[in-house]
Amino acid sequence: MELFVAIDFHARVLNELNQIKNYLTKHDNMGIFEPTENYHLTLLYLNQLDDHQSVIEKLENIKHSRFHLQLNQLGSFENADGNVLWINVKNELEALDELQQKIKQELASLYVPSDHSSFYPHITLSYGHKIGKATEEVFLACKINEVVIRILNFHLYEVLNTGKGKRFKKMATFMLEPNPKGG
């Protein structure tokens, strides 16, 4: 089964992401936009693994404090499916990076890292765009409210191939510890 570890979002963040998606579809409807239920921030892509129970057991060992992120700005990168439109995050990036490193280290014996295993935190909005000057202008004109994202947990997901494209099934949830400062 195809697995990954990620953070999901509460309703206010999903609402903001949908407003951004609606703006982009009005001005650049060339790509394939993700459905709301697919929005996530990948911490580690595991690819194909048969033993998801071992992954769950190892992820249960992770101890990390809760933290906050904020939506930041639109961007794009190229992959095999064409250009990917995304929104990145800001705020407690060091805490996010530490969590990602703990997950990566804990699972190191279970998976083979991909060639592009560097961590660049983002939320994918769509695939298959042709990026040009017009798209860049749309990006600049798109207003992004810096909605706070409280990171209270992370999840193990399975990728399901459906008639409507890929969907992600939550297999397990791992709680983060309350921040001693009240987070």
Q: Sketch the domain layout of the chain as residue ranges.
A: 2-175
Phi and psi angles of residue 131, each rounded to the nearest 5 degrees, phi first: -95, 130
Cα separation, 97 vs 126, whole angstroms = 24
- Tell me which of 40, 64, 129, 155 is the catalytic residue: 40
Phi and psi angles of residue 30, each rounded to the nearest 5 degrees, phi first: -85, -25
10 is catalytic: no
Report pLDDT for 117: 62
Whole-prediction pTM: 0.90
Confidence of residue 21 (pLDDT cuts 50, 70, 90): very high
Cα separation, 149 vs 90, whole angstroms = 10
CATH of the domain spanning 2-175:
3.90.1140.10
Report pLDDT for 78: 79
67-105 pLDDT, tens digit each: 999 999 998 887 776 788 899 999 999 999 999 999 999
40 is catalytic: yes
Task: Supply the angle between the helices 11-27 and 133-141 in degrees, to the nearest 10.
Answer: 140
- Tell me which of 10, 52, 64, 122 is the catalytic residue: 122
Evaluate if residue 121 carries a pLDDT over 90: yes
Cα separation, 18 vs 25, whole angstroms = 10
Between 169 and 141, the more confident residue is 169
Between 48 and 4, the more confident residue is 4
Find where tokens 């014996």 sit: 109
